[in-house]
Structures are given as C-alpha cells and as structure tokens.
Amino acid sequence: MWSRACLGACALLASVSAATANDSIGNLSAGGIVLGRSDSIEMRSEDLFVSTKEVRVRYRFFNTSDQDISTLVAFPMPDVEAPNDADNRAIPVDDPVNFMAFKTQVEGKPVDIKVEQRATALGIDRTDLLKSLGVPLAPFLEAATKAVEALPADKQAELVGLGVLRIEEYDAGQGMKKHAQPNWTLRTTYYWTQVFPAKKELLVEHQYQPSVGASVGTMVGETGADRASMDDYRKRYCMDAEFISAAQRESRLLKQRKPTATTLSEKRIQYILVTGAHWAGPIKDFRLVIDKDKPGNLISACGKFKKISPTQFELHQADYFPERDLDVLILGPLE
C-alpha cells in the first residue's frame, strides 16, 4: 500500500528547461510496457529506476503453462497535444516518432519495434487527412506549423471547422497577423509480437528519457498559497508537514544567499504504473529506485521509501499490485 511519506529533506533537480510565458512547462506521463492479457504469464520481478535524465525498467516474466505463448507487447507513448502558450509540455527529444528516445531489449538483444501514429481532433481520427495534405503528424514540430501556415486559406478554414487547426493572432515581425496553428493530438504506440517460452523466464528491458515538468517558482512553503492547489499537491505527492517545513527553510536560506531569488523551483515526473497489470497475479518482486541529481534539494513522493545512497531512495515490496501511479515532486534552486 502507498502511504504518506516525504523522502526526508532530500533532493532531486536537473537543469531547468526554458520557461514558457507562464513560467511553467508540463510533463508527459509515460509508463511501462503493456502485455496482451494472459493468465499464464507471471511477472517475477520489476526493477524500475526513475530520474530526471532517464527511466529504466527490467522485467522478468515467467510462462507457467506447458505451451509457448505469443502475444502482443506494446509501449503506449503519452498523447502529445499541440503546444500553446497556456499549456506547454516538455518534449525530451526532437524526433517526430521517437520523441522520448525509447529503446527496448529482450534477453539483451535489441527488438525490431513497429510504430503506429494517429492524429485526432475533437475525438475523430484525422491522420489520413493530414497525410494527404503533406502535414507532419507531430504537432510540436516547427515543420508542422510551417506546413499548415502554407495551406490555402479555404483549406485552413475547413480544418479550423474540423478542430484540426486554430487561428492565433500575433506579430512575427510584420505587424499583427492571423496565423494557422496545429490543434490536433498525436497518439504514438510502439509494439511487437513476443514469444514467451513455456516454463521459462524471459528478461525484457526498456529505457527512455522522461518528460520533466518544470516551474520557475513553487507555491510549496509560501504564505498565501492557493488552498485547493496545495490540497492537490498534498494528495498527489504525499507532502507532509516535514517536507513543507523543509521547503520553507530552504526558501529562506535561498533568499539570504541570493536576494533576487523569489522561491524554489519545481521539477515534476510521473510514471504510469496501473495500466500494466495484464499478467497473472501481482508482481512477485517490485523494486523502485528514485535518483536525485544533487543532495541538497527536496523530493516528495508517495511510498515507503528508504535512503540507500546520497542520491537514491528505494521502495521494495513483494507481491506488489500497483494501485496508483507514481508522482514525484522536486524542489531546488533555479540554475
């Protein structure tokens, strides 16, 4: 069971990405692989490592049946909405297909992964329409913006009506003008067919670069913070009084060292745990390690963690069944 626990007055922080207009960048929520549901495949162990720079997972599966089992294995990437000033998302890698640098191996050998990408607007698949117009499917690419701006006015109007585009007005150096912008959502799934040999264990590993949310400032430990937002943070990150007091203390020390500083900055990571329970029974041996980049920053997450090194915290549990996703909040000085 998850419990309320601050990981002491500990720390995790990477260099802060460029802030958006509202000084905040959201994270994309990724997780682990998903198997076709089977009553014969056990997950003997899951060893999960989470940091601001990399997520690594090692699975050991066991086929309890007398027959080889061939099933689809998928890694659903987080949906990516078109960027806008009010709600930006951190894209780790500038790649239209593999934008989180996902890699996987089975028994130490790279897997030939297939990929499916679909673009939707207002819940309707518009993939073929965008392809027919020569528009890249990744809405965060500059090439996608240039492609839709180059479309004829009547075609832009049609796509606005379908919810595929939106019109924004801004000055790009030639006075205020209206510009067509991507408004669709990209859904990407990696998948392959895997054979699980009868009565044998199979090692599956994958790694990727996480999407890390960031804010130049934080409300944690600050007087006058919005009560509803603080309640959401307490629930999501299991913040306790010790963590909040530590944030207040570190904020005061930061202002003494650097009078121009306003408050600590935030990093946020999410890992989706609950969607992967498609095997027989609980995870026999589950281990999660969260690594912090520096000893002096603060971190809060839900779980019974113990400190195993100056920068790492471990949750280790037998017969584990994920009941909630992992959310990590990191506070530290802006660098």
The full set of domain ranges for the chain reads 24-126+184-332, 127-183
225: Cβ–Cβ under 8 A, 6 or more apart, which residues?
219
Judge whether 246 and 252 are in contact, CB under 8 Å. no
Q: What's CA 133's distance to the chain center, in Å?
A: 30
d(CA 316, CA 235): 22
pLDDT of residue 17: 30
pLDDT of residue 334: 76
pLDDT of residue 18: 29
CA angle 240, 246, 249 (to 5 degrees): 145
Neighbours of 53 (CB within 10 A): 11
Per-residue pLDDT band at 24 (split at 50, 70, 90) = low
DSSP 275: G
119: Cβ–Cβ under 8 A, 6 or more apart, which residues?
125, 126, 127, 130, 137, 139, 184, 185, 186, 187
Q: In angstroms, what CA-CA distances link 261 with 63, 213, 250? A: 56, 20, 12
Q: What dotted CATH number matches 24-126+184-332? A: 2.60.40.3680
Per-residue pLDDT band at 322 (split at 50, 70, 90) = confident
The model's pLDDT over 223-270, given as tens digits with 9 standing for 90+, comes to 777 889 899 999 999 999 999 999 988 888 888 887 776 678 889 998
pLDDT of residue 173: 67
The model's pLDDT over 139-173, given as tens digits with 9 standing for 90+, comes to 988 999 999 999 999 999 999 999 999 998 876 66
DSSP 26: B
Task: Tell which wins on pLDDT, 84 or 267.
Answer: 267
Average the pLDDT over 285-297 and give the result: 90
Please compute, for residue 305, the number of CA atoms within 13 A of its CA located in the half-sphere on the CB side: 26
Q: Flag whether the pTM goes above 0.95.
A: no
